[in-house]
Amino acid sequence: MAVPRALVLTGYGINCDRETAFAFEQAGAEARRVHVNDLIDGHDRLDRYQILSFPGGFSYGDDIASGKVLANRVKTHLDDAIQRFIEGGGLVLGICNGFQVMVKYGLLGSPQGVVEAQRSTLTYNDSSRYEDRWVHLLPEKGRCVFTRGIEKLYLPVAHGEGKFFTDPGTLAGLEAAGCVVLRYADEEGRAAGGRFPWNPNGSLNDIAGVCDPSGRVFGLMPHPERHLHFTQHPLWTQLAEECRRAGRRLPEEGHGMAIFRNAVTYFTD
C-alpha cells in the first residue's frame, strides 16, 4: 500500500509531538501534527490516517490527574471517530502522558479492550517524586504489533505518575489475555520484581506497557522517541569504544526506533 499516514496529536501542554512525528517519519511514515481542536472542529479527520499517536507531555497541565482532562475531552468529542478508527484496523500508540490519556479514556487497561468506564490507572510513583532515568525493558512475546521481533529495550522514563495499578481481577485478566507487553527489568534482563530503581514507579507486576486484545492499541510509560539514534544512549561513547576494540560496527539506531518501524511495516509489508 501507499506510505501510511500518522496523526500525532498536539495542543495544550503536549510537548513531545515533534519528536514523535520525526520518529514516524524516520520509520517511513508520513506524519502530521494535528491540534486536538482541529479534529474536534472537523478541520481534519481521523479517517485520513492509519496511525494515531498520543505523545508525551503535560496535557492541560496534568490538572486533576495526569492525562485525565485530555482523556475526557477526546472521549466527549471524538469517541465515535476513534472507535471507528480502531475497528477499521488503525494503530494507536500512547507514550507516557499519552499512555495516561489512553488508560483514563478506557482505550487501555482492560482485558475486554475499549471500555466505557476506566478499569486501570497510572498513579503517583512510589518514590513520591518525578523519576527521570533510563530503564531496561523486557517485551512479552504476544500479539502487540509495535513490539514484534524486539527482544529487549533500553529507554528513558520521565514521569511523576507512572505506576500502573488496577484491581486483582483486572490484572489477572490482562495477564491471561496477553495484554501485558512490557515489563521493567534489571541490567541482567531479569524481571525487576518491584525493585527500585529498575522498576522506577512501583508498577504492579513491573508493567511498563500494555496493549488491547487486538494488539493494535498500545501504550507505554518509557519514551521510545528519545532513543532513535545510537548517540542518544547515555553511555554511547563507552559502547563505541567497546565496539572499536571488538572490531564491531557501531549500531546506527537506538532501541526506540524498532517500535515506530513495526508500526509502519504493519501496513507496508
**Residues classed as catalytic:** 96, 223, 225
**Cβ-Cβ contacts under 8 Å for 265 (sequence gap 6 or more):** 28
Q: List strand residue ranges (DSSP E) for the chain, in order.
A: 5-10, 30-35, 51-54, 91-95, 120-123, 131-139, 153-159, 163-166, 180-185, 207-211, 217-220
231 phi/psi in degrees, rounded to 5: -75, -5
What is d(CA 122, CA 103) in angstroms, rounded to the nearest whole number?
8
Cβ(147)–Cβ(215) below 8 Å? no
Cβ(228)–Cβ(257) below 8 Å? yes
